[in-house]
Amino acid sequence: MQMDEVDQRIVALLVADARSSFAEIGARVSLSAPAVKRRVDRLRAAGIIRGFTAVVDPAAVGWATEAFVELYCAGRTTPAQIRAAARRHPEVVGAYTVSGEADALVHLRAADIAHLEEALERLRAEPFVTSSRSTIVLSRLVESPTVAATDTHPPERA
């Protein structure tokens, strides 16, 4: 499905605040609420919008420690094997195959250093992991929604 400029602006507005009403979005993109709903339904049916979610502050729910872990894997470990292993660990909040020396990059969140160490030990015990290198996050400097928001303001009218 090809997205036009209005679709892109609707997506950007939903990324910024998924609780916005169709009427609020419509006012920003010069469409009626029913027209926005039709477009959102079409974007969902096409798989462009996969769902709506709440963004929770990890520290507020007790998971204030985080790390990025480079995994080095044996032989011909597949992305599917890495994905399956990552899903077995509740501390994994993201896992990616990457270029470079490492085979994968895993993002972990934990309650504290002891919890992080325990999660790392379990992750390193996966049969295909030959070694790892961890980097603990000290502070978050920038965090953006999953899609870069475009200018969400309607163009000036002459």
Domain range list for the chain: 5-45, 58-136
Domain 5-45 has what CATH class? mainly alpha
Contact 129, 61 (CB under 8 A): no
In the chain, the amino acid numbered 11 is V
Neighbouring-strand partners of residue 107: 68, 94
pLDDT digits (tens, 9 = 90+) for 70-129: 999 999 999 999 999 999 999 999 999 999 999 999 999 999 999 999 999 999 999 999
The whole-number pLDDT of residue 146 equals: 62
The whole-number pLDDT of residue 147 equals: 59
pTM value is 0.75
Closest CA to 66 of 109, 9, 15: 109
CATH for the stretch 58-136 = 3.30.70.920
User: Structure tokens of 104?
Assistant: 């994968």
Burial track 17-35 (b if 16+ CB lie within 10 A, e otherwise): eeebebeebbebbebeeeb
